[in-house]
Structure 1
Amino acid sequence: MNTYTDIPFAKGHGTGNDFLILDDPHGRLRLNTADVTRLCSRREGLGADGLLRLVRTTAHPDASTMSRQAEWFMDYRNADGSEGSMCGNGARLVGRYLVVAGHYRPGRLALATRAGVRDVHVPADPDADVSVAMGRPTLPGPADITVTAGEGCWPALHVDVGNPHAVVVVDDLAHPGTLGDAPAVAPASAYPHGTTVEFVHDLGSGHLVVRVHERGVGETPSCGTGACAAVAAVRHHGPQSAGPSCYAVDFPGGRLRVDVDAHGSMTLSGPAHLTALGTLVPRDVRGSGIARTAAAHA
Structure 2
Amino acid sequence: MTALTYIPFAKGHGTGNDFLILHDPQDHLELQPDYITQLCSRREGLGADGLLRLVRTTAHPDTRAMAGRAEWFMDYRNADGSTGSMCGNGARLAGRYLVDAGHHLPGHFSLATRAGLRDLHVPADPHEDVAVDMGRPNLPRPARVHVTVGERRWPALHVDVGNPHAVVFTNDLTQAGDLQQPPRITPAGAYPHGTTVEFVHNLGSHHLVVRVHERGVGETPSCGTGACAAVTAARHVGPQPAGQARYAVDFPGGRLHVDVDTDGAMTLNGPALLTARGILGLQASPHVLARAAPAATFD
List per-residue Cα deviations over 1:123-156 (Å, max 9, x = no partner): 1111100000000000112144100014310011
**Secondary structure, counterpart of 1:278 in structure 2:** strand
The aligned residue for residue 231 of structure 1 is 231
Residue 105 (structure 1) aligned with residue 105 (structure 2): yes
**Secondary structure, counterpart of 1:249 in structure 2:** strand
Q: Check whether the contact 1:21–1:52 (CA below 8 A) recurs between aligned residues.
A: yes
Q: Distance in 1 between matches of 2:134 and 2:253?
A: 21
**Secondary structure, counterpart of 1:127 in structure 2:** coil
Q: Check whether the contact 1:171–1:201 (CA below 8 A) recurs between aligned residues.
A: yes
Q: How does 1:38-53 map to 2 (within 5 A)?
A: 38-53=38-53
List per-residue Cα deviations over 1:62-94 (Å, max 9, x = no partner): 212211110100000000000000000000000
Residue 69 (structure 1) aligned with residue 69 (structure 2): yes
List per-residue Cα deviations over 1:174-214 (Å, max 9, x = no partner): 11112121100111111000000000000000000000000
The aligned residue for residue 7 of structure 2 is 7
Q: Distance in 2 between matches of 1:151 and 1:105?
A: 52
The aligned residue for residue 289 of structure 1 is none
Kindly, what percent of the aligned residue pairs are identical?
72
TM score, norm. by length of structure 2:
0.92
The aligned residue for residue 141 of structure 2 is 141
CA 1:205/1:157 → structure 2, altered by over 3 Å: closer, same or farther?
Answer: same
Q: Distance in 1 between matches of 2:161 and 2:188?
A: 20
Q: Distance in 1 between matches of 2:204 and 2:105?
A: 38
Q: Distance in 2 between matches of 1:35 and 1:187?
A: 33
CA 1:244/1:265 → structure 2, altered by over 3 Å: closer, same or farther?
Answer: closer
Q: Check whether the contact 2:195–2:215 (CA below 8 A) recurs between aligned residues.
A: yes
The aligned residue for residue 248 of structure 2 is 248
Higher RCO (C-alpha 8 Å, min separation 6): 2
Q: Check whether the contact 1:235–1:243 (CA below 8 A) recurs between aligned residues.
A: no
Q: Distance in 1 between matches of 2:124 and 2:143?
A: 44
Letter of the 2:82 counterpart:
S
TM score, norm. by length of structure 1:
0.92
Q: Distance in 2 between matches of 1:229 and 1:166?
A: 8
Q: Distance in 2 between matches of 1:74 and 1:144?
A: 31
Letter of the 1:156 counterpart:
A
The aligned residue for residue 291 of structure 2 is none
Q: Check whether the contact 1:151–1:176 (CA below 8 A) recurs between aligned residues.
A: no
Q: Distance in 1 between matches of 2:283 and 2:6?
A: 11
**Secondary structure, counterpart of 1:62 in structure 2:** coil
The aligned residue for residue 125 of structure 2 is 125
The aligned residue for residue 28 of structure 2 is 28
Residue 200 (structure 1) aligned with residue 200 (structure 2): yes
**CA-atom RMSD in angstroms:** 1.6
Residue 115 (structure 1) aligned with residue 115 (structure 2): yes
Letter of the 1:280 counterpart:
L
Q: Check whether the contact 1:150–1:178 (CA below 8 A) recurs between aligned residues.
A: no
Letter of the 1:26 counterpart:
Q
Q: Check whether the contact 1:20–1:48 (CA below 8 A) recurs between aligned residues.
A: yes
Aligned residues: 285
Q: Distance in 1 between matches of 2:215 and 2:163?
A: 10
Q: Check whether the contact 1:140–1:158 (CA below 8 A) recurs between aligned residues.
A: yes
- Cα distance, 1:242 vs. partner? 4.7
CA 1:243/1:209 → structure 2, altered by over 3 Å: closer, same or farther?
Answer: farther
Q: Check whether the contact 1:151–1:175 (CA below 8 A) recurs between aligned residues.
A: no
Q: Check whether the contact 1:149–1:183 (CA below 8 A) recurs between aligned residues.
A: yes
Identify which range, 197-206 or 138-147, moves more after superposition: 138-147
**Structure 1 gap segments, 5+ residues each:** 286-293
